[in-house]
Amino acid sequence: MEQQIACPQCDLLIELAPLSVNQRAHCPHCGYQVSRGNFHQNTTVIAFALSALIMLLSSLFYPFISFSNQGLTQTITLLDAAKILFNYHTPLLGALLDLCIILLPLFVLISHILMHMGLLQALPKSYSRRILKTNITLVPWVMSEIFLIGVLISMVKIMAMAQISFGLSFWSFCLFVILYLACLRRVNYPLLWQQIEASTPISAINVPRAIDQQLKACHVCQQLSSLSICPRCHSKMHFRNPQSIQRVMAFLLTSLLLYIPANFFPIMHTVVLGQDEPSTIIGGIIILWKIESYPIAIIIFIASVIVPIAKMIVLASLCFHVSYREHYNHKQATRLYQVTEFIGKWSMLDVFVVIILVALVQLGNLMSITPGSGALFFCAMVITSMLAAHAFDPRLIWDSQTKERNDPIS
C-alpha cells in the first residue's frame, strides 16, 4: 500500500511505495533520503540497545584512564570526571558531561528497549506520544562518539609528558559507542509512529508541494494534515516553522558574541611546578603543531575554528537568500544545510578534550590542569549554534521558487 508523505527538506509531496530491506527512497526534488527499507526488526534493535546499555553502565564504575608522572598516579572513572569539574566551579561543563554522555544515552537506550518491546501499544496514546517525541528530541544531543574522539585527542596531547594507561571502562565505552550507533541505524521512526496511530490517507494530488494543497507536514512525526494540531502526535502544525529566520539570526548573533571571548580567554590553565601556563584555542593548536602532532592539530583547527565560522556563514547566507528571494541553486543549498546541521555538534570536541585533561591531570603542585573561562564561552557558543541550525526550516529554501502567498508561514 502506497503512503503519501511530504519531503521534510523541500515539501514535495511523494507517493511512497513499500520498500524492501535494502532499498532507499530519495526525494526526486532535492535528493533527501525520505525513507528506507524496514530495519524495524524489534529483536535486533533490542539486542543492540541492551548490549549498549550494559557497556555504558560497565564504563561508569571501573577505572577509565590512568595518568602517571614521576611516581604520582591519577586514575579516574567517568563519574569522577564530572565531580572534578564541579569542584573547579564549572558546573556547566560537569552537567554537560553527565547529561550528554551518560544520562541522555541511558534514556534513549532504555526507551528504545521498551518501545520495541511493545510499550507504545500498551500505554495510553498520550503517554506513548510523549515518550516517542522526547526520544526524537534528545537523540541529536547525545555526543558519546564526539567524547570518545576527544578522549583520544587528549591522550595524544599529554602522552609525551606522562604515561597513559586505559582501564576496563574505556574499552567498555568504546563498545558502547559502536553498539549505540548500530542501534540507532536500525530504528525506523515512521513505523514506531504507526504503532501509536497509522497515517491518515490524503486526497488525490493536483499540485507538487504540500503547501500548494494547503497541507502541513508535522515537524515531529511527518503526518500530513490541514489541521492546526497533528492528529497523530498532537504537536502544533504550521506550514513553516514560525519565525524561523528571526530565531536563527538571534541564535547566530548570540553564538558570534560568545565566540569572541571563547577565543580571547584561556580555554584551560596548565600549572607545572607552580607556574601557570594559560592556553587559548589557537594557542593549543599552535603547540600541537610545534610538537609535530599535525593530524590532531588539523582536527582541532577544523572542529574549533573552521566549523563554527563556516556554520555561522552558511546559516546567515541561507537566511539572506530566503528572506530576499535571491537566485541560487536550491539543491546545493539544501545539501549545504544538511551538512551544516550534521557537523554542528562536532565543535564540542575541544570542550571534551579540556574536560578529560582537567579530570585526569591532577598531580598537585607537580602538574595540574584547570578549566578556563574560554571553555564555558565556547561550550555555550556550540549549543547556541546547534539551536540555530535546528531552528532553520529548510523548506523555506524551496519556497523562493514559487509565488509569494498571503500567509506562507502561519
Q: Are 74 and 362 in contact (CB under 8 A)?
A: yes
Helix (H) or strand (E) holding 210: none
Residue 273: alpha-carbon gap to chain centroid: 39
pTM: 0.86
Digitized pLDDT (tens) for each residue of the chain, 410 residues in all: 567 888 888 888 888 777 777 778 888 888 888 887 765 578 889 999 999 999 999 998 888 888 777 667 778 888 888 888 787 767 888 888 889 999 999 999 999 999 999 898 888 988 999 999 999 999 999 999 999 998 888 887 777 667 888 889 999 999 999 999 999 988 888 888 888 876 666 655 555 888 888 888 888 888 888 888 988 888 888 888 888 999 999 999 999 999 999 989 998 887 776 677 788 888 888 877 877 777 878 888 888 889 899 999 999 999 988 887 667 788 888 888 888 888 888 888 888 888 888 887 776 666 777 888 888 899 999 999 999 999 999 988 888 665 444 344 43
pLDDT of residue 201: 60
Pairing mode of beta strands 24-26, 65-69:
unpaired
Interatomic CA distance for residues 87 and 370, integer angstroms: 10
Backbone angles phi, psi at 142, to 5 degrees: -80, 125
Interatomic CA distance for residues 80 and 98, integer angstroms: 10
Query: What one-character-per-residue DSSP string does 299-319 give?
Result: HHHIIIIIHHHHHHHHHHHHH
Q: Would you state the cell numbers that stand for residue 344, as one nine-digit string?
A: 554542528
pLDDT of residue 75: 82
Nearest-CA neighbor of 149 among 301, 365, 364, 296?
296
Residue 389: alpha-carbon gap to chain centroid: 11
pLDDT of residue 409: 43
Interatomic CA distance for residues 122 and 236, integer angstroms: 25
Interatomic CA distance for residues 81 and 154, integer angstroms: 14
Q: Compute CA distances 104 → 71, 95, 115, 141, 397, whole Å.
A: 37, 12, 16, 8, 32
Task: Give 93: exposed, middle or buried? Use CB within 10 Å, 0-12, 13-18, 19+.
Answer: buried
pLDDT of residue 113: 95
In 243-340, where do the E strands start and end? 268-272, 275-279
Task: Tell me the H-state helices in 62-143.
Answer: 78-87, 91-97, 104-116, 119-122, 125-138
pLDDT of residue 210: 84
Q: At what angle do helices 294-301 and 144-158 cross, to 10 degrees?
A: 140
Interatomic CA distance for residues 49 and 31, integer angstroms: 30
Q: Would you state the cell numbers that stand for residue 149, as one nine-digit string?
A: 574522539
Q: Compute CA distances 213 → 204, 205, 367, whole Å.
A: 10, 8, 66
pLDDT of residue 404: 41
